[in-house]
Amino acid sequence: MVTALPSQNILQIEEIRDGVLILKDKSLRAVMMASSLNFALKSADEQTAVIMQYQNFLNSLDFSIQFFIQSRRLNIEPYLETLKNAEAKQTNELLKIQIAEYMEFVRTFVRAANIVSKNFYIVVPFTPSIFATPQEGAASILKGISGIFLGKSIQKGAGLTREKFEEYKNQLWQRADSVIQGLVRSGVRAVPLNTEELIELFYGLYNPGELEKGKPPALQ
């Protein structure tokens, strides 16, 4: 018989405070949402400039970061619900027929094309030296989303005091600011997620079906 593990044993997040993830090993993470860039539509010179700026950005970092792409099948139900309400209020029979046909067209097109929406995130880490282990290094800090939050936790340290948290948070945001400034030169904008947005993100990652029904209860 297979025994299911409690979700607390899987998720390595101990607390979300002031828009910062505090992991069980007392390391910190900032998560930022990044804009997309239509690279294919740029000229050859523009593409070369973007590549060079991105290369310079990566070379300027003295810590590891993670780029995480979330792909989900496009949920058009809210849009169809809006059209359905408009159809119900419409008094012109011809317009009602046109709205109904348009709804069916959108539904059929999205189903046939299998359209997905993509969100881009950047994870910036900070591990206080008193909690770091000799085995930790730049290459092992981030190894995908499961490596950050689902892997085995290292030995736990003492709890973070408010003063220490503020100190470490400031250092974390200094790293985040340098990432934001570096990406801007490549034409990519990044915005840090706040506490509620982080809750919604992880709720969606671990409850993909439930998120399609709406926001998690804590955010309603």
The structural domains of the chain, with segments of one domain joined by +, span 7-72+120-219, 75-114
Q: Is the pLDDT of residue 182 over 70?
A: yes
d(CA 97, CA 102): 9
* Structural contact between residues 47 and 53, judged by C-beta atoms closer than 8 angstroms: no
Alpha-carbon span 8 to 202, nearest angstrom: 13
Q: What is the pTM of this model?
A: 0.67
Using one digit for the tens of pLDDT, what is the confidence trace for 112-171?
Answer: 777 777 899 999 999 887 555 444 443 333 444 444 444 443 334 346 788 889 999 999
pLDDT of residue 5: 57
pLDDT at 135 (0 to 100)? 45
pLDDT at 214: 46
Q: CA-CA distance, 190 to 176, in Å (whole number)?
A: 9
Q: Which whole number is the average pLDDT over 190-204?
A: 90
Residues 78-105: tens digit of each pLDDT: 888 899 998 888 888 899 899 999 999 9
- Give the model's pLDDT for residue 59: 93
Pairwise CA distance, residues 124 & 118, whole Å? 20
Residue 9 contacts by C-beta under 8 Å, 6 or more apart in sequence?
none
**Average pLDDT for the chain:** 79
User: According to the model, what pLDDT value does residue 210 have?
Assistant: 59
